[in-house]
Amino acid sequence: MAREEASIVAQHVTFGGIIVLLIAYFALAVLLGFLRAPRYPAAIPWVGHGKGWAAALRNCFAGFTSSKRWLQEGYEKYSKHGKTFVLPSMLGAPAETVIPRSQMSWMLDQPDAVLSTSAAHYDILHGEYSFVKPIILKDPYHEHVVHKNLARNLNAVIPELDDELCRGVDELCGSDARAFKKINLLEGFMMRLIPKATNRMLVGEPLCRNQDFLDNMLAFTMDVIRGFFIFALVPRVLHPVVGTVAGLAPKYHYWRTRKWSLPLIKERLEDIKKKDAGEPAYNEWKEPNDFVTWSIRTAMAEGRRDELDPGRIAIRIMPINFASIHTTAMTGHAVLLDILSTDPSVVEGLRQEAERIWKEEGGKWTKQGLARMYRMDSAIRESQRHSAFALTFVQRKVMAKEGITSPEGLHFEYGTLLSCPWTPVAGDGDIHDRPDEYDAFRYSRAREEYETMNPEEKEKVDALKMKQNGLVTTSDRHLAFGHGRHACPGRFFVAHELKMMFGHLLINYDVKHLAERPRSMWVGRNMVPPTAYIEVRRRRIQNA
């Protein structure tokens, strides 16, 4: 009987039938998504195919290929005249209300209870499903820990990073001084080095080099990124169903990392307890300067007993890995492609600077020395501008139940997602001279000149303005790390990390020039990096 029923069903399932079903499914899903979305003020303009539910259906597919162009059009037509516009949603990704630069300080001045970064991240990153437990992104205590501790502990972190990165670069690039070695830049170089360096700061050695721990950590970050695409393809109304299944992979990979991280965290908690109790055996014990210690010390000082649970600390390591690894790897990838495909004098200029400073600092990387790497600083910042990897940054969600009214007089309802345009600002000829050109030393020329001036000459220069062109100094024209009080707290770490990594590479290796920069592709609001290779050979002049 069951077999007969199955055969009847099979006879009625035709290709045409499946297509009709799919169209009906997407139309219904778009309609439901449309009904659930916050209502927008009537006066606000939309880019793409406009507003209304028929337009929403077209936008949700066209957005995958056209979002970059739509954002640029909206920027020219509205943002540059101080007006807000809406970048339409794509299937699972919500619409973004794009705020012009002229209103950015108003937006950043709003308290978190009115415009929230963490609530925006929770929605965008699918915090309900992707980070093991919803509480992790709902109450992002790990972010608070990083804000409070990372920058002030950089002096202690730098020698550890120096060791990890120089060792890592040498392992990957080898010691052959005759033949060039070809390495896949993203998978074989960045994604091998960055996780180790990041985890040296998070959990210290030797765990930062434990391959099983790193593999599962990377698998977790890939789960979250895969989630972006899965959720983007699935209508919002189905997210609870899909999320329950998609959330199993990050849970599994967390469980695999915790096998390694949990014993370390438990031991650290014990050690700190004994040290604080004044046990004589701990007189000489110095607590390691890493994220695990910072989490414990911060939670103890703030009376957050929930954050002293070893399992909770083990989960908190995951989103920090997520926030660090891909952003840094994508940035480093873009920098190397940019500097290797521009005039060869750029690599030479960067190498000279790195060699000089490394020697001046006695053959090691120091905070003071890294702060003087103006050319490298500029080359990285210029790459973030020229080869941006996201259309918008500085996302905020309206949390005030009554909504909020902008200086333009537009009222945004609870739940509206606000953001700031990045790629159009980065490529704006009114802000940057020759915006299409990768000019590695765009921000360092004035600084280097300033350093050669005598005191009287220096007095005539607006030094503060010049220093604002540094990699870590965010502004409404340098949004790669966000801006305002929620700007990336990892950027100081990243600046040191990338400078050390590239410095060591250029001092010790010849890296072949690229005739052409491999082209990136945009899918929706994100850049997909090209597959690219570098060719390296140990330099005969041994400086290291």
Q: Which residues bind ligand HEM (CB under 6 A)?
A: 117, 143, 146, 150, 320, 323-324, 327-328, 331, 393-394, 480-484, 486-490, 493-494
- Residue closer to ligand HEM, measured from CB, 59 or 324: 324
Q: How far is the CB of 93 from ligand HEM (least distance, A)?
A: 17
Beta carbon nearer to ligand HEM, 83 or 316: 316
Q: Closest separation between CB of residue 73 and ligand HEM, Å?
A: 23
Q: Which residue, chain included where needed, has tokens 């001045």?
A: 109
| CB nearer ligand HEM, residue 146 or residue 230 | 146
For the CB of residue 487, give the shortest distance to ligand HEM in the complex, in Å.
5
Pairing relationship of beta strands 417-421 and 96-98 according to DSSP bridges: parallel
Residue number, 127 or 482, with CB nearest to ligand HEM: 482
Q: How far is the CB of 323 from ligand HEM (least distance, A)?
A: 4
Question: What number of CA atoms fall less than 13 Å from residue 455's CA on the CB side?
Answer: 0
Q: CB under 8 Å to 318, separation ≥6 — which residues?
A: 131, 132, 136, 217, 220, 250, 254, 257
**Over the Cα atoms of the chain, what is R_g?**
25
Is 420 annotated as a binding-site member? no
Beta-carbon count within 10 A of 16 CB: 7
315 vs 426: CA distance, rounded Å: 35
Q: Residue 190 gets which letter from DSSP? A: I
Strand partners, 414: none
Taking the least distance from each CB to ligand HEM, the nearer of 50 and 484 is: 484
Least separation in angstroms between residue 465's CB and ligand HEM is 22
Q: Give the residue with the Cβ less far from ligand HEM, 148 or 251.
A: 148
* Residues contacting residue 289 through CB under 8 Å, at least 6 positions apart: 153, 156, 157
Cα 436 off chain centre by: 23
- CA angle at residue 13 from 12 to 14, to 5 degrees? 105
Closest approach, Cβ 328 to ligand HEM, in A, equals 4
Give the nearer residue to ligand HEM in terms of CB position, either 46 or 220: 220
Angle, to 10 degrees, between the axis of helix 491-508 and the axis of helix 154-173? 40
Distances (CA, A) of 248 to 221, 229, 243, 253, 513: 13, 16, 9, 9, 44
β-strands 115-116, 392-398: how paired? Answer: antiparallel
H or E element: which one contains 15? helix 15-36
User: Where are the alpha helices (H) located in 387-544, listed in sequence order?
Assistant: 423-426, 445-451, 455-459, 463-467, 491-508
Q: Give min distance, CB of 396 to ligand HEM, in A.
A: 8
Q: Which residues are annotated as a binding site for heme?
A: 488
